[in-house]
């Protein structure tokens, strides 16, 4: 094994949609160990995460729609708005970038059905995101999301849990600070930016 200044962990898929275990990664618990996501091989600079550099994990979901990403590297989430029904119709969010300017992204998808907004004050942050991806509205999309924060450790589930589960708990003071993914008329896939 080679130890480099920036250790790169490989994320691999160990479980298939037919198996019952959720895709799960415990970022920062064992930063040198190989990790995995639900959608294949991903590279992660965990040394960067330890130094406060945002890293991307994921995405989870289908391959439809167009790629979506942030305008600037995120530092802190301010709010997240989710539209949901049978699945996740769309998501939008506001964040503070590494340049300390506030940005808004989305909506990625459509703004139909139930709208719910999570507002984060400066002392609150996202510590855990979980959900499912599978078939809804005759498309392979993100079907449900659950977002836990420091102040809300038992949040509601948005959408309808259906399909392959995924779970991203962040340990040791890390936090989820933004999202990326794919969308067209619906939220096809979602991934997260994590910072420590």
pLDDT over 80 at 68, yes or no: yes
The answer to whether residues 163 and 39 touch, using CB atoms and an 8 Å cutoff, is no
Looking at residue 196, its pLDDT comes to 79
pLDDT-above-90 percentage for the chain: 67
pLDDT interval class at 173 (50, 70, 90): confident
- Taking phi first (over 0 means left), then psi (-120 to 50 degrees means alpha), and beta for anything else, what does residue 75 get? alpha
Higher pLDDT, 104 or 52: 104
Q: Is residue 21 situated within a structural domain? A: no
Domain with 176, as residue range(s), is 55-195
Q: Is residue 29 situated within a structural domain? A: no
Higher pLDDT, 125 or 6: 125
Looking at residue 153, its pLDDT comes to 83
For the entire predicted model, the pTM comes to: 0.74
CA torsion through residues 55, 44, 33, 164, sign: positive
Q: Is residue 27 situated within a structural domain? A: no
pLDDT interval class at 154 (50, 70, 90): confident
Overall number of domains in the chain: 1
Q: Is residue 105 situated within a structural domain? A: yes
pLDDT interval class at 52 (50, 70, 90): confident
For 112, what's the count of Cα atoms within 13 Å in the CB-facing half-sphere?
11
**Strand-pair category, 164-169 with 126-136:** antiparallel
Which whole number is the average pLDDT over 66-77?
97
Q: Is residue 85 situated within a structural domain? A: yes
CATH code, domain carrying 101: 2.100.10.30
Q: Is residue 139 situated within a structural domain? A: yes
Q: Is residue 155 situated within a structural domain? A: yes
Q: Is residue 149 situated within a structural domain? A: yes
């Amino acid at each position: 094994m080679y130890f480099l200044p920036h250790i790169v962990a490989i994320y691999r898929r160990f479980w298939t949609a037919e198996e019952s275990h959720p895709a799960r990664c415990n970022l920062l618990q064992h930063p040198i160990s190989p990790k995995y996501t639900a959608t294949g091989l991903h590279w992660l600079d965990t040394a960067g995460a330890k130094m406060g550099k945002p890293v991307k994990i994921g995405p989870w979901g289908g391959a439809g729609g167009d790629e979506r990403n942030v305008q600037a590297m995120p530092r802190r989430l301010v709010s997240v708005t989710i539209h949901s029904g049978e699945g996740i119709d769309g998501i939008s969010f506001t964040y503070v970038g590494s340049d300390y300017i506030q940005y808004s992204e989305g909506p990625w998808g459509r703004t139909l059905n139930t709208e719910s907004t999570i507002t984060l004050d400066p002392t609150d942050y996202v510590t855990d995101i979980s959900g499912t991806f599978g078939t809804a509205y005759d498309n392979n999309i993100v079907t449900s999301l659950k977002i836990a924060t420091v102040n809300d450790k038992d949040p509601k589930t948005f959408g309808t849990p259906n399909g392959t589960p995924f779970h991203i708990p962040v340990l040791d003071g890390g936090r989820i600070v933004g999202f990326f993914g794919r969308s067209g008329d619906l939220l096809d896939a979602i991934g997260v930016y994590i910072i420590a």
